[in-house]
Amino acid sequence: MKALWLENNQTSLREIPQPEKTNEALIKIRSAGICSTDLELVKGYYPYTGVLGHEFVGEVVTAPDASWIGQRVVGEINATCGKCEACLNGRPTHCEVRTVLGIVNRDGVFAEYTTLPVENLHRVPDSVPDEMAVFTEPLAAALEIHQQIQIKPTDRVLLVGAGRLGQLVAQTLALTGCDLHALVRHTYQKDLLATRGIKTIAEADIQPRRWDIVVEATGSPVGFDIARKAIRPRGTLVMKSTYAGELTVNFSPLVVDEITIIGSRCGPFAPALGLLERREVDPTVLISAQYKLGECLKAFEHAAQSGVLKVLISM
């Protein structure tokens, strides 16, 4: 089968064997999305060799449980053991021996086929088209914030960064009725938020030490610095992006101000699919371009350009 292969920070389109795992479902990929993690892996963020990609919608071809065959599905990216201390205590996304789709020791979805355990799969409602379903994984990541903290309508919430993931975070935060403002860099990002009634704010207008909750979604030292200055004493700082390289932080004022810092990663798929089915969020406005698998190298070049949101690869 054709697949986008990463090795030594170089991508190539190559022919590789179709995956065969008798204890997992074989999934024919219908559409897959390029995210910031994929782009950072190419830059060397994490030493990975294999097929890239983890955001997808596909159709089950074979499975240990025949009831899954023919189903249109999305899949959680962490394949876990179910036996380690983390798994047994309800923290499967932190499984000590997990593999991660297209990221850690498991080939990803920029290919004609992939495999995942059946327990990772979620059926896609018929009313949710592929161009929405392909956003399930990042939308679930956005919803993880809601799993971790209570957001009240009276909370002043600042979102720093409204790129690929930040836009979805903004849409989900807006559903809580909180007093939400987003700091954005580009006019088109501001326009996308404005269509949903989400307020934006200039950096100069961010009141320091006044925000109850700040979500940092840039993954940059500059974004973290803005977020840190904005959060009030005993406020909550949610880290929604991983950082390439090192981040220098003075922890003394964080201790003095009693700031709660929460790392936020993978999230719940079922609620994400529910939001898509009810049309409470609309991720399709983020689609910048679509390419075929044979054009995946060009797709990655496009996705890496400044200001580009979601680039999809369809089969």
pLDDT along the chain (315 residues), means of 10: 96 96 96 95 91 98 97 97 95 95 97 98 98 98 97 98 95 98 93 96 96 95 95 97 80 95 96 98 97 97 94 96
Domain count, the chain: 2
Does one domain contain both 192 and 108?
A: no
234: left (phi over 0), alpha (psi -120 to 50) or beta: left
Residue 130 is assigned to a structural domain of this protein: no
The answer to whether the CB of 137 falls within 8 A of the CB of 60 is no
Residue 69 is assigned to a structural domain of this protein: yes
Does one domain contain both 178 and 255?
A: yes
Sheet holding 2-7, edge to edge: 10-15, 2-7, 50-51
Residue 105 is assigned to a structural domain of this protein: yes
212: which 2 tokens? 């109850």
pLDDT attached to residue 314: 95
Residue 164 is assigned to a structural domain of this protein: yes
pLDDT attached to residue 246: 77
Does one domain contain both 189 and 233?
A: yes
What does the buried/exposed string (b/e) look like for 159-170 if buried means 16 or more CB atoms within 10 Å of the residue's CB?
bbbbbbbbbbbb
pLDDT attached to residue 247: 83
Does one domain contain both 300 and 198?
A: no
Does one domain contain both 42 and 153?
A: no
Amino acid identity, position 159:
L
pLDDT attached to residue 44: 86
Compute φ and ψ for 260, nearest 5 degrees: -90, 120
Smallest CA-to-CA distance from 314 within 138, 133, 165, 140 is with: 133
Q: How far apart are CA 292 and CA 278, in angstroms?
A: 29
What is the extent of the structural domain holding 101?
2-123+282-314
Count the neighbouring beta carbons within 10 Å of the beta carbon of residue 128: 21
pLDDT attached to residue 302: 97
Residue 272 is assigned to a structural domain of this protein: no
Residue 274 is assigned to a structural domain of this protein: no
Task: List, as one string, the DSSP characters of the chain.
Answer: -EEEEEETTEEEEEE-PPP--TTSEEEEEEEEEE-HHHHHHHHTSS---EE---EEEEEEEE-SSGGGTT-EEEE-SEE--S-SHHHHTT-GGG-TT-EETTTBSS--SSBSEEEE-GGGEEEPPTTS-HHHHTTHHHHHHHHHHHHHS---TT-EEEEE--SHHHHHHHHHHHTTT-EEEEE-SSHHHHHHHHTTT-EEE-GGG--TT-EEEEEE-S-SHHHHHHHHHHEEEEEEEEE-S--SS-----HHHHHHTT-EEEE-----HHHHHHHHHTTS--GGGGEEEEEEGGGHHHHHHHHTSTT--EEEEE-
Does one domain contain both 259 and 145?
A: yes
Query: pLDDT tens digit string along 120-131?
Result: 999 999 999 999
110: which 2 tokens? 């920029």
Does one domain contain both 210 and 299?
A: no
Query: pLDDT tens digit string along 256-282?
Result: 999 999 999 999 999 999 999 999 999
Does one domain contain both 7 and 115?
A: yes
Does one domain contain both 63 and 156?
A: no
Q: Provide the CATH number for the domain around residue 300.
A: 3.90.180.10
Does one domain contain both 41 and 93?
A: yes
pLDDT attached to residue 284: 97
Q: Provide the CATH number for the domain around residue 170.
A: 3.40.50.720
Q: How far apart are CA 312 and CA 290, in angstroms?
A: 5
Residue 149 is assigned to a structural domain of this protein: yes
Does one domain contain both 51 and 164?
A: no
Residue 162 is assigned to a structural domain of this protein: yes
